[in-house]
Structure 1
Amino acid sequence: MTTLRNPAARRVPRPRDLAPLMRFKKPQFDARKRRLDAALTIEDLRTIAKRRTPKAAFDYTDGSAEAELSLARARQAFSDIEFRPSILRDVAKVDTSCTILGGRSELPFGIAPTGFTRMMHTEGEYAGSRAAGRAGIPFSLSTMGTASIEDVKIANPHGRNWFQLYMWKDRERSMALVDRAAKAGYDTLLVTVDVPVAGARLRDKRNGMSIPPALTAKTVLNALPRPHWWIDFLTTEPLAFASLDRWSGTVAELLDTMFDPTVTFDDLAWIKSQWPGKVVVKGIQTVDDAVAVTELGVDGIVLSNHGGRQLDRAPIPFHLLPDVAREVGEHSEIILDTGITSGADIVAAVALGARFTLIGRAYLYGLMAGGEAGVDRAIAILSEQIERTMRLLGVASLDELTPGHVVQLERLVPRAR
């Protein structure tokens, strides 16, 4: 009769049993690489960014308008989804590429236009454009950027560069920027239409956020634990908007001074006639406006509430997406931004009808956390999450995603009239 062996019986450990367990991780002496490798999510990058960046600069990136409800609701909308996976599908190979606005992107997201980017990190738009070029995704330069149109093209000579336009009261000056972007080979113009005036960004006001950043007792004290940011800031090219003359005031005051609140659909049609490439309207927040600009013949729209930085309590782009897709999806390429913090968010947006997405804060958190290497890490995190989510959903390409893969759970439901 065979005696049953008791695996829980005590014994003296043998060297050959311990050897497989004694694998020590090779030390990483590069502090930045060690820091970035430990970041597994965009929220991890945000935590690092907050620790390394002065409060005024971090809050300019992290904050939104008034009570910041628009941003919180946009992020909550992505949390309030349920995925519906398909099983027993061959997902050994997953294709994350797509065609957007006449060109290829290796991933279903690009880098959104962001203003005053070199304040977050001195590498600014140069880091973002180079990282985008390596990843094979579009990079968008803001009118309020801190690198020139031509310099970004030099930094990203073979990648896709898009230019974001704010229409100023000085129309001639605005269109001079458009002409420069066309001559530099930018293939897409993003016309932003949701900024007739600046939103009330209360964090910036409370921080005394100005251009250039003002040194006060409070900002100096806040900077003491963050010497690397100040060393970079004080030993590199002075911070300024590349497309503007120097300004000594708050960001909101600058926007209110410059931006033209009289811009109409007729102006949009005129801008479209001046640009040789693709034209996309950024800042669509209703189905009616999506239909109206599509009828003007634009190539795409961006469902966006400006990252919650303009009108607080604005519509949630992700909630708006299915209705807009039904109305104009066959006639216009739909891009979505605001609230995206993971690759799963991007997959959900594509499933519900977005052709593409844009990331703003997610990329800036990486920039603040580690410069260009931090942007690379942000892109890598999102890419890994997209691939994993697609595999778990049972889809091998973006075209296989359908609305049936996602359920939007209800939290904020309009009250019956």
Structure 2
Amino acid sequence: MTYNVVPATSRDYRRLADKALPRFLFDYIDGGANDELTLARNVSDFARITLKHNVLRDVSRIDTATTLAGERAAMPVILAPVGLAGMFKRRGEVQGVRAANRVDVPFTLSTVGICPVDEVARAAEKPFWFQLYMVKDRKAVQGLLERAMAAGCQTLVFTVDLPVAGMRHRDTRNGLFEKNLRGALMRGWQVMTRPGWVYDVGMRGKPHAFGNYADLVSEGADLNAYKEWVDNNYDNTVTWKDIEWVRTIWKGRILIKGILEGRDAQSAVDVGADGIVVSNHGARQLDSVSSTIRKLPEVVAAVGDKTEVFMDGGVRGGLDVLQDSCKFGAPCHRTV
């Protein structure tokens, strides 16, 4: 009999997360938008790729080290930003940066993490990357960028593919954003079925504030307040001109995350981006678009000789980590 005590693959960790998290939190991180067609394509399209198997080569000194956005990394993998990570594990962003430091790969802190940039910086052994969503309050954005630079961040990952929040049916079924008694009872029941989470995250993982925007979302990590704030404050008027504005503030490297078309990749290069992240936001916010692996060759053909190209696998909301790198005539690195 196999007891599966020790996780061996990313799917094992996903199964453990399913057992540990309240249903609404597991589905929030695991799910995609609408019918999750793009979520499935991110998996199936990648599965169709086969390895080229050459034999009788000296492989006694394999070195996976590379350079990512000017920084040395032990392998071509980046920990991508995960919003609300501190709700999935106690002070999750701090645990994330420590794990990345141990294996010597970059860590990217989400704008909407539970742990603020200052707390993550205290736990980090080296500079980490910072991810930005543009909000309407430009003074708040400027202040946040200045805090990130003061914390030692040198690479900014500017996410551009979320002008409006997507329709996520799993969240609706779980009553995630219902403000009435029924929604409260549904979430309460899901929480009480996970006593380990209650103790580890609910009690020991406080404070449950939206770290970097705690002063703007006064209700703490109340998911209804979070969604209302996102709906009201994410700026859907952003254009390439705004990236030029960000460049006047941010003194380090800027990577544009959320590119799927060669034309947009060229526009990013034109406004001074130091790198492109081919991404469909893990299929979390918009369904029926292409998988990232299908769009990678087009983007590399458009700008691969001008800038560094990364790819976000976008598989199962970030829980199924595909352990590989890819090259299409130019550097291409995986974010997970």
Q: Give the aligned residue type for 1:187.
A: Q
Q: 1:283 aligns with which of 249, 258, 262?
A: 258
**Map of 1:402 onto structure 2:** none
What CA distance in whole angstroms lies between the structure 1 residues aligned with 2:105 and 2:128? Answer: 9
Q: CA deviation at 1:353?
A: 4.4
**Map of 2:129 onto structure 1:** 162
What CA distance in whole angstroms lies between the structure 2 residues aligned with 1:314 and 1:352? Answer: 24
Contact 2:42 2:314 (C-alpha < 8 Å) held by counterparts? yes
CA deviations over 1:240-286 (Å, ceiling 9, x no partner): 21122224526443321111111111111111121111011011011
Structure 2 length-normalised TM: 0.89
1:77 is the counterpart of 2:45:
yes
**Map of 2:169 onto structure 1:** 202
- What secondary structure sits across from 1:104 in the alignment? strand
Contact 1:71 1:338 (C-alpha < 8 Å) held by counterparts? no
**Map of 2:91 onto structure 1:** 123
Q: CA deviation at 1:206?
A: 2.1
Q: Give the aligned residue type for 2:164.
A: V
What CA distance in whole angstroms lies between the structure 1 residues aligned with 2:247 and 2:313? Answer: 25
Contact 2:178 2:184 (C-alpha < 8 Å) held by counterparts? no
Q: CA deviation at 1:208?
A: 2.2
What CA distance in whole angstroms lies between the structure 1 residues aligned with 2:273 and 2:279? Answer: 16
- What secondary structure sits across from 2:58 in the alignment? coil
Judging changes above 3 Å, is the alpha-carbon distance between structure 1 residues 279 and 336 closer, same or farther for their aligned structure 2 residues? Answer: same
Q: CA deviation at 1:210?
A: 4.6
1:246 is the counterpart of 2:218:
yes
1:270 is the counterpart of 2:245:
yes
Question: Unaligned regions of 5+ residues in structure 1, if any?
Answer: 1-30, 360-417
1:258 is the counterpart of 2:224:
no
Contact 1:168 1:259 (C-alpha < 8 Å) held by counterparts? yes
Q: CA deviation at 1:354?
A: 4.7
**Map of 2:154 onto structure 1:** 187
**Map of 1:371 onto structure 2:** none
Q: CA deviation at 1:87?
A: 1.5
What CA distance in whole angstroms lies between the structure 2 residues aligned with 1:99 and 1:114? Answer: 23
CA deviations over 1:186-235 (Å, ceiling 9, x no partner): 010111111111111221222222599x9843334434442110112332
Greater Cα radius of gyration, structure 1 or 2? 1
- What secondary structure sits across from 1:82 in the alignment? coil
Q: CA deviation at 1:89?
A: 0.8
Count of matched residue positions in the alignment of Structure 1 and Structure 2: 321
What CA distance in whole angstroms lies between the structure 2 residues aligned with 1:48 and 1:211? Answer: 27
**Map of 1:177 onto structure 2:** 144
Q: CA deviation at 1:94?
A: 1.2
Contact 2:256 2:268 (C-alpha < 8 Å) held by counterparts? yes
CA deviations over 1:13-55 (Å, ceiling 9, x no partner): xxxxxxxxxxxxxxxxxx9xx84xx211101110111011110
What CA distance in whole angstroms lies between the structure 2 residues aligned with 1:269 and 1:109? Answer: 28
CA deviations over 1:100-153 (Å, ceiling 9, x no partner): 111101111111111111111113101001111111111111110111111111
Contact 2:145 2:250 (C-alpha < 8 Å) held by counterparts? yes
Contact 2:101 2:126 (C-alpha < 8 Å) held by counterparts? yes
Q: Give the aligned residue type for 2:80.
A: A
Contact 1:113 1:140 (C-alpha < 8 Å) held by counterparts? yes
What CA distance in whole angstroms lies between the structure 1 residues aligned with 2:225 and 2:165? Answer: 11
What CA distance in whole angstroms lies between the structure 1 residues aligned with 2:297 and 2:228? Answer: 36
1:235 is the counterpart of 2:203:
yes
What CA distance in whole angstroms lies between the structure 2 residues aligned with 1:343 and 1:261? Answer: 32
Alignment of 1:91-110 (within 5 A): 91-110=59-78
Contact 1:98 1:108 (C-alpha < 8 Å) held by counterparts? yes
What CA distance in whole angstroms lies between the structure 2 residues aligned with 1:332 and 1:116? Answer: 31
Q: CA RMSD in A?
A: 2.2
What CA distance in whole angstroms lies between the structure 1 residues aligned with 2:202 and 2:257? Answer: 35
Q: 2:15 aligns with which of 18, 22, 47?
A: 47
Q: 1:326 aligns with which of 292, 301, 312?
A: 301
Q: CA deviation at 1:88?
A: 1.2
* Identical-residue share of aligned pairs (%): 37
Contact 1:149 1:184 (C-alpha < 8 Å) held by counterparts? yes
- What secondary structure sits across from 1:83 in the alignment? coil
What CA distance in whole angstroms lies between the structure 1 residues aligned with 2:283 and 2:173? Answer: 18
Alignment of 1:364-375 (within 5 A): none
Structure 1 length-normalised TM: 0.73
Q: Give the aligned residue type for 2:190.
A: N
What CA distance in whole angstroms lies between the structure 1 residues aligned with 2:172 and 2:313? Answer: 22
